[in-house]
Structure 1
Amino acid sequence: MADLSKFETEPRIQLLEELKSARCVMLGSPNSSEHMQPMAPQIDKQTIETAEQGGSSAIYFFSDNTSDLGKAVLSDPGATVMATHIGKDYQACIEGTLYPVTDDAALIERFWNPIAASWYPGGKDDPKMLMLKFVPITAGVWASTGNPLKFVYETAKANLTDTLPDVGKSKIIAA
């Protein structure tokens, strides 16, 4: 259930928290002819604390320098791409820039986990590993309480009163 008060007061922090709890987002490629693909966002407490203090935030992804996405980012670093997250009660479409990160052992160590390890047989030094840094610029976000009774009530009320149902909120934010 999305926190609608946080949606109003701290939408940027809520966005990062929602993405942190997401198993994956759909990440676009600098090559516009390629489809978006599911990628696991790497966000930690440090990322959220930086955003809470007004700093810029970045979302990291483990990728592969031989994949279509990896090759596209290496050939067009800093390209503007989209990422989307669709949760039960929270959705976001984020526009940002995507960069390759090379030779940053501390960053790999910071986000290394058993899931990442399963994709890189060579471990943290796997030659195919490529970290991607996604720097959000703006985001369209939508949130609802997820209460099914409220949804039914608002839908019925809208049909009876010729108004729109009040089932959530949306806005564009600087990410």
Structure 2
Amino acid sequence: MADIDKLETAPKEQLWKHIRDVRCVMLGSPDPNQHMQPMTPQIEEETQEIWFFASKSSELVQTLDVGAHTVHMCVVEKDYQACLQGALRVELNSHILDRHWNSVVAAWFEGGKSDPDLTMLCFRPQNASIWASSQNPITFAYEIAKANMKDKTPDIGSRANVDF
């Protein structure tokens, strides 16, 4: 369950923890006609950057010409959701590549670290909205029933905004 107190006292710290713990996020494109796609984040919390291994031939990389583009990245878990907005750019960084390279990434690139189709994306968050709930199913059902009987909105979580 999400820690509501942490959301209210240290939302940015909690957000980084959730991003570190997820297997994949949904990463947006600067092209509004493209859907978000699942990508595995590689965290560089010290520089507040999130890196992704990507194929140069992918639709997402093809939309990213020179410079950074504003996109959204979403983290979705059972009781924790976050939408981050930030700048996404293509940058093959050998230091980051070496630090995060693993057998799962290698499975996607036949030529290994020197595969000609390999590149990286760097996402630098600018702001985020976060929603979290620590309610168990019984409390959730109670809040829904109470809200319907009293014509009120249920109290099932909290929301926070953060800037980077």
Q: TM-score range by the shorter chain?
A: over 0.9
Question: 2-side partners of 1:30 and 1:68: how far apart?
Answer: 11
Question: 2-side partners of 1:146 and 1:131: how far apart?
Answer: 38
Structure 1 unpaired stretches of 5+: 51-55
Equivalent residue for 1:58, pick from 32, 49, 53: 49
Q: In the alignment, is the contact (CA less than 8 A) between 2:56 and 2:119 conserved in 1?
A: yes
1:78 aligned residue: 68
Q: Does 1:151 align with 2:140?
A: yes
Shift of 1:95: 0.6
Shift of 1:148: 0.8
Please give the TM-score of this superposition, normalised by the length of structure 1.
0.87
Question: 1-side partners of 2:102 and 2:10: how far apart?
Answer: 28
Report the 3-state secondary structure (helix = DSSP H, G, I; strand = E; otherwise coil) of the residue aligned with 2:72. strand
Question: 1-side partners of 2:20 and 2:8: how far apart?
Answer: 19
Listed as ranges, the matches of 1:24-103 within 5 Å are 24-43=24-43, 47-48=44-45, 50=46, 56-73=47-64, 75-102=65-92
Identity %: 43
> Which segment is superposed worse, 81-90 or 28-37?
28-37
Question: 1-side partners of 2:31 and 2:152: how far apart?
Answer: 42
Deviations 1:110-153 (A, max 9, x none): 11122111111111121111110000011111000141111011
Deviations 1:36-60 (A, max 9, x none): 11111112xxx34x2xxxxx51111
Amino acid at match of 1:82: H
Equivalent residue for 1:110, pick from 99, 107, 117: 99
Equivalent residue for 1:130, pick from 116, 119, 129: 119
Aligned length: 164
Please give the TM-score of this superposition, normalised by the length of structure 2.
0.93
Report the 3-state secondary structure (helix = DSSP H, G, I; strand = E; otherwise coil) of the residue aligned with 1:140. strand
Question: 2-side partners of 1:168 and 1:25: how far apart?
Answer: 22
Report the 3-state secondary structure (helix = DSSP H, G, I; strand = E; otherwise coil) of the residue aligned with 1:15. helix
4+ residue segments displaced more than 4 Å = none
Report the 3-state secondary structure (helix = DSSP H, G, I; strand = E; otherwise coil) of the residue aligned with 2:14. helix
Question: 1-side partners of 2:18 and 2:72: how far apart?
Answer: 16
Structure 2 unpaired stretches of 5+: none
